[in-house]
Amino acid sequence: MLQLRRKISHRFFLAIMLIVVIPIGIMGYESYILARKTLTTLAFQHMATIAESKANHLDSWLQERLDDVEILARLPVIREACRRYHESKASPSESPAILLKDTLALIEGTSPSYENIYILLPSGRVLSSTHPDLVGTPGSQEQEVIERLRSSDKPVLGPVYQHPEKEGWHVQLAAKINGPDNRTLAFIVAVLDLSRTVDPIMVERIGLGETGETYLVDKDGRIISESRFLDWDETAEQSFDTHGIRSALQERKGTAVYDNYVGREVLGSYAWMPRYQWGILAEMETSEIMWPLAWIKTIGICTSGLVGIVCLLMAFAVSRRVSMPIVQVADAAERMAEGDLQQKIPFSSKDEVGRLAASFNTMAQRLGESIASLHRKEESLQKAYDELIAAQEQLLRSERMAAIGELVASVAHEMRSPLSSIRLNLQIIGRALGKETVLHEHYEIAFDQVVQMERMFSELLNYSKPLEIQKKDVSVPTLVDRCLQELEGELGGKHVQVEQQLPPDLPPIIGDPDKIEQVLINVLKNALEASPEGGQIRVSAAIEESPSGAGLTLVVADRGVGISPRNLKIVFKPFFTTRTKGTGLGLAIVKKIMEAHRGSISVESEEGKGTSVRLTFPSVRGAE
């Protein structure tokens, strides 16, 4: 009844969704995308306008300062004083040029950004300065600006530098003082404090909201204006690399969305100022720019959700009213079709309807018995089919391994004879060599390699031979004790403790005792080699139920270095090993023996925490 009602309500609901909700959702989404594109375009234009306005303002202000320097360089009184100094060869402290301080101070007073204005002789000494204590002393930091000035007739701007005695960025402006014969007599040098020069222009944040800022970077990627997010000490000691800074330093102009120098997503505009070798950037966080879109998104979601709820209620009401009579008629037949064969029609009259009801109830009972019988036969057939497939796979695997084993055995046999000859000759050579000679060390290396190759070929022959399983009852505690006795010397050498967690009522394993012992010894050796000095190995066993029957699981866990996820995928492949002298056949042989017993082996490991090997043996006798 409920399913039929759901079908009708679903169809009605889908019809309303297709007619009303989906068009509303599409219109809302398109409106949101269009608004976002429009807002982004306007924001790009706005940020580009701000960056260009700041650049023009800065260029105009610096041009005024360059004009100040040029005016000083052309003043007749300054040029005449420099000419007289060169003719008299007087020292700067004795020269009348020291009296030019008042003229320099007059220009310095036109702007609070001037740190100092002085006249620098070609020899590198200060002729006159607004700071009298600098007269006669060598100049500083002006080498690069003088180099730029030598190739220019106009005043130039030097690189940004940190003042050795004051906090903040400084920059020098310089102009030539030429004599009547156009010979350079001296240089006018003005030092500007950028915190007073650039910061008042850049920190003005009209049109930049609560998160926006404009700043300058030099050619090394250092921020040379006041930062909204970092102190001066943080910006002075490092260079920054963002998309905007990188694009500006590549002398490109444009706008983009990127992460700023503190990792926040911003919409920024960048440009390069070639005259000053600076980049200017205007940035504002995208979250602040895009916040008006939140209303559009909220309205669209709320509208779609409200219409969807209304449609759902209408669909439920209409389907209930329409489907109820149909559901009452088809209810019993539907439950029978769904597999509920215990249905009975509660009708006990003696007429034809009663007989029909009695026949329907008898049919339902017999149908249930027939289906139950079919289920039992199906399970029996499936079990037989699974056993047949497993036997067929084992047969194919055995045939392949037999063919590979015959080939490998032939190759290994042919290789062992030359190796034996090489080993014999190496032993003869080793007897002739003294142990103190250099050649004896090379002899030992070659002899060890030959021994390792012989061992590898022996293990390869064992791996290639078909297994002959002699099944017997194998006691698990006895098996573990025998393996630990065999490894007693190696365990004692590393002081490794073995913890046994074996229930006293464990049933025996059905398998070949020697082969199973070989498996456990190999796994224990691997755990011992992975364990640190004084480590611990845990051996546990338990009965586990599976669809094929009861089985016994033997777990060997260590707390060693573990296996990397990459190596864990290929740990059972032949010849894979992480040891320098291993052959890589140990776990491959273990897996082969387990598969011959129709068991399984799995490895779980985590680097630095240890490894756990699970050996599962099926068909344990007496597991019930």
Q: Is 103 or 509 the better-scoring residue by pLDDT? A: 509
Which residues are bridge partners to 257 per DSSP? 267
Instruction: Please state, for a pLDDT cut of 70, what percent of the chain lies above it.
Output: 71
The per-residue pLDDT for range 195-212, each reduced to its tens digit, is 887 888 888 878 888 889
For residue 493, give the H/E element and its range.
helix 488-494
The per-residue pLDDT for range 55-69, each reduced to its tens digit, is 999 888 888 888 888
pLDDT of 17 above 80 = no
Spatial separation of the C-alpha atoms in residues 193 and 53, rounded to whole Å: 22
Query: By the 8 A CB rule, do 192 and 113 touch?
Result: yes
For 164, half-sphere exposure in the C-beta direction (CA atoms, 13 angstrom radius) is 2
CATH topology of domain 471-618: Heat Shock Protein 90 (3.30.565)
- 471-618 matches 7-64+198-319 in CATH topology: no
Other Cβ atoms closer than 10 A to 370? 11
Q: Return the residue matching tokens 């003696």.
A: 350
Query: By the 8 A CB rule, do 343 and 335 touch?
Result: yes
Model pLDDT, residue 416 = 64
Model pLDDT, residue 279 = 93
Which sign, positive or negative, has the C-alpha torsion 551, 596, 479, 578? Answer: negative
The per-residue pLDDT for range 170-188, each reduced to its tens digit, is 888 899 888 887 888 888 8
User: Quick one: 75-194 is in which CATH superfamily?
Assistant: PAS domain (3.30.450.20)
The number of residues making up the chain comes to 624
pLDDT of 338 above 70 = no
Could you tell me whether strands 610-618 and 600-606 are parallel, antiparallel, or unpaired per DSSP bridges?
A: antiparallel
For 279, half-sphere exposure in the C-beta direction (CA atoms, 13 angstrom radius) is 27
Q: Residue 19 gets which letter from DSSP?
A: I
Q: pLDDT-derived band of residue 327, with 50, 70 and 90 as boundaries?
A: very low
Model pLDDT, residue 217 = 92
Q: Return the residue matching tokens 């297994």.
A: 467
Domain boundaries, the chain: 7-64+198-319, 75-194, 341-466, 471-618
Q: Taking residues 285-300, report their average pLDDT.
A: 80
- E strand intervals along 260-333: 265-273, 278-285
For 329-398, give the DSSP string: HHHHHHHHHTT-TT-------SSHHHHHHHHHHHHHHHHHHHHHHHHHHHHHHHHHHHHHHHHHHHHHHH
Q: Taking residues 138-166, report their average pLDDT.
A: 80
Spatial separation of the C-alpha atoms in residues 463 and 473, rounded to whole Å: 25
Distances (CA, A) of 466 to 410, 469, 571, 575: 14, 10, 22, 18
Q: Is 248 or 8 the better-scoring residue by pLDDT? A: 248
Q: What's 391-422 look like in SS3? A: HHHHHHHHHHHHHHHHHHHHHHHHHHHHHHHH
Cα Rg, the chain, nearest whole Å: 46
User: Two tokens at 76?
Assistant: 């007749």
Spatial separation of the C-alpha atoms in residues 256 and 47, rounded to whole Å: 10
Asked which of 16-25, 301-310, 368-377, 615-624 is least confident by mean pLDDT, the reply is: 615-624
Q: Which of 203-212, 272-281, 377-386, 544-553 tops mean pLDDT? A: 272-281
Spatial separation of the C-alpha atoms in residues 141 and 129, rounded to whole Å: 15
Q: Taking residues 553-573, report their average pLDDT.
A: 81
Query: By the 8 A CB rule, do 424 and 483 touch?
Result: no
Query: By the 8 A CB rule, do 536 and 524 touch?
Result: no
Instruction: Please state, for a pLDDT cut of 90, what percent of the chain lies above it.
Output: 8
Assign domain 7-64+198-319 to its CATH architecture.
Answer: 2-Layer Sandwich (3.30)
Query: By the 8 A CB rule, do 115 and 130 touch?
Result: no
Q: Return the residue matching tokens 């209408």.
A: 314
Model pLDDT, residue 96 = 45
pLDDT of 556 above 80 = yes
Query: By the 8 A CB rule, do 528 and 495 touch?
Result: no
Spatial separation of the C-alpha atoms in residues 466 and 592, rounded to whole Å: 10
pLDDT of 321 above 70 = no
The per-residue pLDDT for range 436-471, each reduced to its tens digit, is 666 777 777 777 777 766 666 666 556 555 566 778
Q: pLDDT-derived band of residue 329, with 50, 70 and 90 as boundaries?
A: very low
Model pLDDT, residue 11 = 67
Model pLDDT, residue 142 = 77
Spatial separation of the C-alpha atoms in residues 84 and 95, rounded to whole Å: 9
Asked which of 56-60, 265-269, 350-354 is least confident by mean pLDDT, the reply is: 350-354
pLDDT of 298 above 90 = no
Model pLDDT, residue 69 = 86
